[in-house]
Amino acid sequence: MRKVAGLDAHSTYVVVTIVSNAGEVIAGPKRIANDDADRLKGLLEQHAPLEVVVEASGSWPWIFDRLEGPNVHVVIAHPKRLRAIAESNYKTDAIDAELLARMRLVNLIPEVYPKPLGQRELATLVRHRARLVRQRTGTAGRIHAELHSVGLSLRRGELLTKAGRQWVHTEAWPLFGPEQRLLTKTHERLVDLLNEMIRELDRRIERTGSEIPAVQLLETVPGIGPYRALLIVSETHPIDRFEHPKHLVSYAGLAPRSSRSGKSVRYGSIPAGANRWLRNVFVQAALTHCRTAPDSPLTTYYTEQKERVGWRVARIATARKLARVVHAMLRTGEVWSHA
């Protein structure tokens, strides 16, 4: 008899319901605290062998690491694609847990690849850097807002340079009030602190990537440095799970989507379930590639597409081609070549 356990996981507890392939609820719903994982594991092992379904959230890693074994197979469900749960008008923890189990029994669960601990560590490293960069951008943006309030402006990124900061103290200082000057000094100190932390993470990323052959391989592509290479590897390993380049393109949210009317194609929206980290890194890498490798076929393609359909569509189309190149490189182990 096939049995499936649905787990509705929260920050402090999980609700578990076990359903048989006959549609019978054979255990639960039971609410178990997260710090009582032995009780959860014991309950599931009483009904093993069975599958366990849990939505991808902040709780899935400890559930997977603790429960996955020879007689218990943990399935991670993609929350954005669980429309039956997301659009339900009547939701409780018990209903969600049971519905997860029943959807798995009829093979309606969209699965997410469960990254092992080592790969999750790589993802944490590169995402840590990305979030610090985002914080630095927001901090600098606060200074930009004060400049705008007195009729001044600087190009994006110049506040992070010595010359840009000197310009602020020369041109804007006479126009700033005491509180604006204090705010600017405070945010400059925050930018300096964030710069220091980002540089340290860059060194960690470079050291870590130097020990991973796939990262070294991707760094041969103009536009893909240590950070981008490590991010791509952390999100796509093992590459064999993407049998065809189009599967990686779709996973990264770079495939064009037809509108609901079926009369046009939408490039601007990101498909539900797309890996936004991967999408962003491919787009940014493609744009950097075009600036640093003017003779590259990718650059030529971007230039042609930009003239034909505009830069917004062209950058996505070029990122899509770059994703296909990355897929081929990781599958074959061959370095970047213009040929």
Question: 335 falls in which pLDDT band (50, 70, 90)?
Answer: confident
Query: Could you tell me the pLDDT band of residue 261, with boundaries at 50, 70 and 90?
Result: very low
Whether the predicted model's global pTM rises above the 0.75 cut: yes
> What is the predicted pLDDT for the residue at 260?
47
Q: Supply 290's token pair.
A: 């075009």
Lowest mean pLDDT of 73-87, 202-216, 323-337, name the range: 73-87
Q: How confident is the model at residue 179 (pLDDT cuts 50, 70, 90)?
A: very high
Is the per-residue pLDDT at 225 higher than 80?
yes
pLDDT given at position 91 = 74
Decide if 191 contacts 160 (C-beta within 8 A): yes
- The DSSP code for 113 is -
* SS3 assignment for 4-45: EEEEEECCCEEEEEEEECCCCEEEEEEEEEHHHHHHHHHHHH
At 237 the three-state DSSP class reads coil
Share of the chain above pLDDT 70, in %: 92
DSSP-H helix ranges across 34-90: 37-46, 60-67, 83-86
Structure-token match 């999408």, residue found: 279
DSSP state of 161: S
Checking if the pLDDT of 221 tops 50, the result is yes
Give the pLDDT of residue 141: 95
Residue 305, pLDDT > 90, answer yes
Residue 111, helix vs strand vs coil: strand
Q: Is the pLDDT of residue 114 over 90?
A: yes
CATH 3.30.420.10 at 3-112, yes or no: yes
Which residues, in sequence order, are CB contacts of 2 under 8 Å at separation 6+? Answer: 20, 21, 50, 51, 105
Query: How many CB atoms neighbour CB 174 within 10 A?
Result: 8
User: 75 or 90, which is more confident?
Assistant: 75
- Count other C-beta atoms under 10 Å from residue 58's C-beta: 9
Lowest mean per-residue pLDDT among 34-38, 126-130, 199-203, 265-269 = 265-269
